[in-house]
Structure 1
């Protein structure tokens, strides 16, 4: 029925409901397609992670020393843009200030992988060997970000060489001076991982590892040899061990690697790439479900608002 050549309110409400249904169907299709694209290794669009702003304060022990640039959260956040892997740009936390947690709302609709690692930890090396390539592919495709927190809990296992601290310091030096190379350096450090209960590589050896990953500068050389961020590494380690871990269901680091996906702890085998992929895909599916629920709520609200506005305009009621 029409009134003055216009559809009746009942017809308009029917049309609104149909529009809402179509929106829900379209959103569900997009979510299913996202999962298929992820499994096929096809990117969903590149992200400019360098624009992410960290805003949430971590309630933890105050740092003993100033931290590096681009590690305000005690970790470096890596994503991708048209140029490749890029690090989120953050200020250096100064002496007496608390670290700043990454704002999870800035990572909406992405899978954020967070890792707390010790470069002497053999289980960390197993996780890296099994999963580094697929994590890098997810990051460069724009499906995920990865936030890496180097800590030092195994100095006692390096025969007096303090290798855990020295390697974490070297990683911090790279974050400070060449942050976009951090992922490559992280992989190189694990590839050169020494055995526990040895002194480990010298600082000169560490610099050679960084050079092999494409990082070679006077600033990094001085930072590594002077162990500029060694005290900061100690503070970051204490904070990880005492907690709370921000944006997470895990209160503290109790061992390495501690791997979180959207704040949920991975408890599978560290050397099982298929198990980790399935875990990540499960978290990605949860993101899709959230998107669908949001779209349904928005569609229903839009339909109700349209109906209410029309009723107010025409004064017609069913």
Structure 2
């Protein structure tokens, strides 16, 4: 009588051992395949990462060695020259300095009839702020009346004093942007930058704030992209280095050693930064001395005296 069980013989111990070995072998083969696929994926990822990093490095290097563009127009001397024409402050127009060009010294009036005021300023320098807030209106009046010219050199010696934002450099660049495309607004922009001067060590003004101040001073919207791009960064760095290394044309000092550096007819002003009367007296004296020197110079051509009308 049958019990209905399987007719297959029961696996022996050796059969079970061989089956286990075969299963283990298959598992090892599958694991090896998985390991090879994983290795390929990892290697591919590494290669992609290396290519990406290499691309980034190449981009940064390219940015670092990108040829510098020209400097701002109307600043061929590294400064902008402002003069009075019919009671209005206007800029002397000059072409932009090309990369590698030396600045062109300004031909100053040597007659003594006009005071040639030259300033080297850093827009983060608190002492520059004191000088400007004290004497800006005096210089405006002198320039508008034709009694003086004003040559402003924005430099950046406090670039690392603004919590990493490079405000000093960005502000000098913004001044270059205004000189380049809206020179008629430069005096007001220079003045308004000091009226809104941030504290040394702070983050300074943002680019958007610089653009707002430029618009308030009457500059065109063309300055906006220039400010955002820091278009004249290379020029700011070069002109700052030139000011610090010298020589300074038309001056009794060899180089700028700090800001503000203020010259009147080549003579360095070392008086009070907060006394407008003292600076005005210095301007008058320097112009007077230049007039005497011009009179004493035997090579000077005398100015003919007008013949009275008959």
Instruction: Give the TM-score, by structure 2 length.
Output: 0.72
Query: Contact 1:65/1:235 (CA < 8 Å) preserved in 2?
Result: no
Q: C-alpha displacement at 1:106, in angstroms?
A: 7.2
Q: 1:247 aligns with which of 245, 250, 272?
A: 250
Q: C-alpha displacement at 1:270, in angstroms?
A: 1.1
Q: 1:84 aligns with which of 77, 80, 88?
A: 88
Counterpart of 2:114 in structure 1 is: 110
Distance 1:294 1:245, change over 3 A: closer
**After the TM superposition, which segments of 4 or more aligned residues of structure 1 sit over 3 Å from their partners?**
105-108, 290-295
Counterpart of 1:73 in structure 2 is: 77
Counterpart of 1:149 in structure 2 is: 153
Q: Distance in 1 between matches of 2:68 and 2:102?
A: 10
Structure number with the bigger relative contact order (C-alpha 8 A, sep ≥ 6) is 1
The Cα RMSD (Å) is: 2.1
Unaligned runs of 5+ in 2: 1-66, 303-310
Unaligned runs of 5+ in 1: 1-62, 300-318
Does 2:167 match 1:163? yes
Distance 1:201 1:115, change over 3 A: same
Q: C-alpha displacement at 1:105, in angstroms?
A: 4.7
Does 2:244 match 1:220? no
Secondary structure, counterpart of 2:120 in structure 1: strand
Does 2:291 match 1:288? yes
Q: C-alpha displacement at 1:290, in angstroms?
A: 3.9
Q: How do residues 31-50 of structure 1 correspond to structure 2 at under 5 angstroms? A: none
Secondary structure, counterpart of 1:196 in structure 2: coil
Query: Contact 2:87/2:145 (CA < 8 Å) preserved in 1?
Result: no
Counterpart of 1:133 in structure 2 is: 137
Cα-to-partner distance string for 1:159-186 (whole Å, 9 max, x where unaligned):
1010000000000000000111110110
Query: Contact 1:80/1:139 (CA < 8 Å) preserved in 2?
Result: yes
Counterpart of 1:43 in structure 2 is: none
Q: C-alpha displacement at 1:121, in angstroms?
A: 0.3
Q: Distance in 2 between matches of 1:97 and 1:150?
A: 18
Counterpart of 1:234 in structure 2 is: 237
Q: Distance in 2 between matches of 1:209 and 1:112?
A: 27
Instruction: Give the TM-score, by structure 1 length.
Output: 0.70
Q: Distance in 2 between matches of 1:107 and 1:192?
A: 37
Counterpart of 1:206 in structure 2 is: 210
Q: Distance in 2 between matches of 1:124 and 1:235?
A: 21
Q: Distance in 2 between matches of 1:110 and 1:83?
A: 15
Counterpart of 1:314 in structure 2 is: none
Q: 2:276 aligns with which of 270, 273, 278?
A: 273
Q: C-alpha displacement at 1:239, in angstroms?
A: 0.4
Q: Distance in 1 between matches of 2:301 and 2:240?
A: 43
Distance 1:64 1:276, change over 3 A: farther
Query: Contact 2:111/2:291 (CA < 8 Å) preserved in 1?
Result: no
Q: Distance in 2 between matches of 1:117 and 1:270?
A: 13
Instruction: Work out which of the two has the higher radius of gyration on C-alpha atoms and give 1 or 2.
Output: 2
Query: Contact 1:64/1:235 (CA < 8 Å) preserved in 2?
Result: no
Query: Contact 1:116/1:151 (CA < 8 Å) preserved in 2?
Result: yes
User: How many pairs does the alignment contain?
Assistant: 236
Q: Distance in 2 between matches of 1:265 and 1:146?
A: 14
